[in-house]
Amino acid sequence: MPAQHRPEDYGYFVPITTRWMDNDVYGHVNNVTYYSYFDTVANHFLIREGGLDIHTAPVIGLVVESKCSYLAPVAYPDELRAGLRVDKLTNRSVTYGVGIFSGTSDEAVAHGYFVHVFVDRERRTAVPIPEAIRAALTSLVVG
């Protein structure tokens, strides 16, 4: 996985508006909330760029592994940007790299990864990534 976490290391971005409920009693966005940001940028990409129909597609992606490193606190009402890249692409899975940036800063406030395994919606068994989704994901492969 690339060691750099700058905006130019990511090929797709989604703006994220923090919400009042994202803050915890310590006055910053709670750590678990970052995973929803990760899900948001990846699924936004799959829907918009890969043509995934989240309601009826016969193949869906399930998260099987994730990690997040926190570098700087953010709090409501901060405006964030979630950057997405593909660190590894196999026949049935993808490892996304995600960077979270505050405002217009080039410094990541958090970064991490998560792994989607693509499965048959009904049987929940691993299947090859559909071609349209694979083509979209290929556009974000780094390295």
| CATH classification of the domain holding 118 | 3.10.129.10
pLDDT tens digit at each of 143 positions of the chain: 345 789 999 999 999 999 999 999 999 999 999 999 999 999 999 999 999 999 999 999 999 999 999 999 999 999 999 999 999 999 999 999 999 999 888 999 999 999 999 999 999 999 999 999 999 999 999 87
- Is 96:85 a contact under the CB 8 Å cutoff? yes
Give strand pairing partners of 17: 79
Per the structure, the complete domain to which residue 46 belongs is given by 7-138
Q: Does residue 1 belong to any structural domain of this protein?
A: no
Q: Does residue 115 belong to any structural domain of this protein?
A: yes
Q: Does residue 81 belong to any structural domain of this protein?
A: yes
CB atoms within 10 A of CB 55: 5
Q: Does residue 68 belong to any structural domain of this protein?
A: yes
Q: What is the pTM of this model?
A: 0.94
Tally of domains in the chain: 1
